[in-house]
Amino acid sequence: MEKYLEIGKIVNTHGFRGDVKAQSWTDSPEVLAKIKYIYLKNKNEYQQIKVQKGSVHKGMVLLKLEGIDDFDSANALRETTIYADRKDIPKAKDSFFIVDLIGLDVIDVDSGRVYGKIKDVMQYGIHDIYTVETEKGEVLIPAVSEFVKKISLEEGIFIKAIEGMFDEV
């Protein structure tokens, strides 16, 4: 499993004292605003930067980063992807990081038939949608208890398919 996960992107500066404005790729902007350390990736190495202050303003995250004390330093970070150590990202019990679901087998809970692999997870307000790559094409499955019966990072995602869900692809 990857140690560092993408959590957002610095999209702009905020003011003239080195603050940056970031787009959050976490469950909510508040999660990113509470992170104590972010990491910037340079080739295959990660540079740790302490977050001195984080807040949410109009759906964006404002960050004051240690060592970034002026407009030019902040502006140099524009369009930079930011990462966090997975252990520092809060998540609910029995929840998973999307990156860990990608590539898992999708298995029929009753027959053991492997339908395909998770290609993507689309996030919508009510529930997520799993994109399953099969031999014949893509199938979308709502990530709800009616269909998803068990998720195991070691075994795969066990589902209860309904008639026609995979037959017509």
Residue pLDDT, tens place only, 103-141: 999 999 999 999 999 999 998 778 899 999 998 889 999
Q: Is residue 13 part of a domain?
A: yes
Domain containing 68 equals: 4-88
Cβ contacts of 69 within 8 Å, gap of 6 or more? 17, 18
Q: For residue range 4-51, what is the model confidence (pLDDT) as tens digits?
A: 999 999 999 999 999 999 999 988 899 999 999 999 999 889 999 999
Q: Is residue 17 part of a domain?
A: yes
We report the CATH number of the domain holding residue 145 as 2.30.30.240
> Which pLDDT belongs to residue 169?
46
> Which pLDDT belongs to residue 168?
58
Looking at the structure, tell me whether residues 50 and 82 fall in a common domain: yes
SS3 label, residue 75: helix
> Which pLDDT belongs to residue 118?
97
| Domain boundary residue, one of 88, 122, 147 | 88
We report the CATH number of the domain holding residue 79 as 2.40.30.60
Q: Is residue 166 part of a domain?
A: no
pLDDT category of residue 166 using cuts at 50, 70 and 90: confident
- DSSP result, 52-101: EEEEEETTEEEEEETT--SHHHHHTTTTEEEEEEGGGS---TT---HHHH
d(CA 83, CA 129): 24
